[in-house]
Amino acid sequence: MIKQIEGGVTAAKGFMAAGVEAGVKYKNRKDMAMVYSTMPCVAAGTFTSNVVKAAPVLWDKKIVEESPYVQAVVVNSGIANACTGKQGMDCCAAESRCAGELLGIPEEAVLVASTGVIGMQMPVDRLQEGIRKLVQEKSDSLAAGLEAAQAIMTTDTLPKQIAVEVTIGGRTVTLGGMCKGSGMIHPNMCTMLGFLTTDVCISKEMLQKALRADVVDSFNMISVDGDTSTNDTLLVLANGLAGNEKITAEGEDYDTFCEALHFVTTYLARKMAGDGEGATALIEAKVIGAACKEDARILAKSVICSSLTKAAVFGHDANFGRILCALGYSGVQFDPDQVDLYFQGKNGKMHIFGDGTACDYSEEEATRILSEPEVTILADMHMGDGEAVAWGCDLSYDYVKINADYRS
């Protein structure tokens, strides 16, 4: 039984957070965040598959793999610290050293993350000043968690956070998280920036295993624009304060934790897709009846990645041919004459294509469904029992506006 509760990264026992204005690049808005655990945590992470990896990605991969424990994450928005060479790596080291000293923990216990413009060097002094403020202001309040979620935003229009409770081994375990998305979102092995905190007691190996298995059907199933970022980072910190018997193998406790994890990651992934740059609607592509699960994933992602489908949803235009077209070029083999397509909204489901031709549907009714803030496209391939869901957003004038002049 998963129970959604208030809050985000500070919901779990022993976690503090802060969000402050550091003037890294933006003016007059929060642009640095910290997550801190009063107890050492095991950490797991998944990172971008892009060959061009930002400095903090390289830094965190090493820490997650080699460090016995971690206790803090320092994040900035505005500059991505990507394509910054040695100077970029030096900056990560300086941030970790500064946070480590001020928090009284080893610098190897500090993770860093950045999001923003690629290719620009970081203002190390301002980051250090920001870390000082973060350390002073950190708090375990729910408000502090929200401030952290706000500070990591770039072109996001809303902070994204969630927290849930589950019972594991008779103890209440809390899992919270925050993320930011918006543009350059086509995660591959993880998302732009996501941070999860939990008081569950679990081994590092099982935490990494749970995370790796989870992203395949959560963050890896969303796309805003098909561009896989240089900075994608998803981190989860577990400090064990829930007091449950340590999860060290598969079993009921592990499964319960995985369910809670999936609830949180799917919630955040959907929020990220729905708040894509310029988006006016969340597009959910659900594929059922595919030959296998992997085919279903490929088909669903192809639909939410199609610029033409995205533009049609923005125009509330039931141009289903573009959906069939996107299924058709996905690389998966199928017989178009066997496919059934539906639009699904809050008030029901509408059959739009079957037996190889358009159904006799009402354009008016279709436009009504396509005008809802969440549009579901359902494709039944009638080939097997493979199912998958992917999430994206529509393509609007504002996407172009935001990205034609992002650096100014």
**Is residue 322 involved in binding a second copy (CB under 8 A)?**
yes
DSSP string, 193-214: EEEEEE---B-HHHHHHHHHHH
Q: Which of 170, 329, 360, 364 binds a second copy (CB under 8 A)?
A: 329
Report the distance separating Cα 294 and Cα 292, nearest Å: 6
Site mask for a second copy (CB under 8 A), range 219-238, x = bound: ------xxxxxx--------
Q: Two tokens at 150?
A: 């706000």
Stated as kind and residue range, the H or E segment containing 19 is strand 15-20
Q: Give the E-state strand segments of 94-192 in sequence order.
A: 110-117, 160-168, 171-180
Maximum Cα interatomic distance, the chain, rounded to a whole number of Å:
69
**Is residue 404 involved in binding a second copy (CB under 8 A)?**
yes
Rg of the Cα atoms in the chain: 22
Phi, psi of 243 (to 5 degrees): 80, 10
In the block, tokens 């400090």 appear at 239
Task: Identify which of residues 170 and 333 has a Cβ nearer to a second copy in the complex.
Answer: 333
Catalytic residue from among 154, 191, 198, 228: 191
**Is residue 148 involved in binding a second copy (CB under 8 A)?**
no
Q: Which of residues 63-92 bind a second copy (CB under 8 A)?
A: 80, 82-87
Report the distance separating Cα 346 and Cα 352, nearest Å: 17
280 catalytic per annotation: no
Task: Identify which of residues 15 and 391 has a Cβ nearer to a second copy in the complex.
Answer: 391
Task: Identify which of residues 85 and 104 has a Cβ nearer to a second copy in the complex.
Answer: 85
Q: What is the dihedral of CA 400, 402, 404, 408, to 10 degrees?
A: 170
**Is residue 312 involved in binding a second copy (CB under 8 A)?**
yes
Query: Which listed range, 39-47, 107-115, 234-242, 322-330, lies at the site for a second copy (CB under 8 A)?
Result: 322-330
CB 276, CB 183: distance < 8 Å: yes
CB of 117 to a second copy, least distance (A): 7
Task: Identify which of residues 251 and 336 has a Cβ nearer to a second copy in the complex.
Answer: 336
The size of the interface with a second copy (CB under 8 A), counted in residues, is 69
- Sign of the alpha-carbon dihedral angle for 56, 174, 152, 305: positive
The separation between CA 33 and the C-alpha centre of its own chain, rounded to angstroms, equals 17
Q: Which of residues 335-354 bind a second copy (CB under 8 A)?
A: 336-337, 353
Q: Two tokens at 394?
A: 């529509």
**Is residue 397 involved in binding a second copy (CB under 8 A)?**
yes
Query: Which listed range, 14-22, 113-121, 165-173, 290-298, lies at the site for a second copy (CB under 8 A)?
Result: 113-121
CB of 372 to a second copy, least distance (A): 16
CB 39, CB 8: distance < 8 Å: no
Report the distance separating Cα 189 and Cα 211, nearest Å: 10
Query: Which listed range, 44-52, 95-103, 212-220, 287-295, lies at the site for a second copy (CB under 8 A)?
Result: 44-52
Report the distance separating Cα 329 and Cα 322, nearest Å: 11
**Is residue 290 involved in binding a second copy (CB under 8 A)?**
no
Query: Which listed range, 4-12, 96-104, 235-243, 311-319, lies at the site for a second copy (CB under 8 A)?
Result: 311-319
Q: Two tokens at 38?
A: 């009063």
| Angle, CA 58 vertex, CA 53 and CA 61 arms, to 5° | 120
Report the distance separating Cα 12 and Cα 340, nearest Å: 44
Query: Which listed range, 4-12, 111-119, 160-168, 199-207, lies at the site for a second copy (CB under 8 A)?
Result: 111-119
In the block, tokens 């004038």 appear at 397
Q: Which of 2, 102, 118, 124 binds a second copy (CB under 8 A)?
A: 118
CB of 379 to a second copy, least distance (A): 12
Q: Which of 269, 282, 304, 332 binds a second copy (CB under 8 A)?
A: 332
**Is residue 198 involved in binding a second copy (CB under 8 A)?**
no
**Is residue 364 involved in binding a second copy (CB under 8 A)?**
no
**Is residue 207 involved in binding a second copy (CB under 8 A)?**
no
Catalytic annotation, residues: 191
Contact set with a second copy (CB under 8 A): 49-53, 80, 82-87, 117-121, 183-184, 186, 188, 225-230, 305-308, 311-312, 314-315, 317, 319-322, 324-330, 332-334, 336-337, 353, 355-358, 395-397, 399-401, 403-408
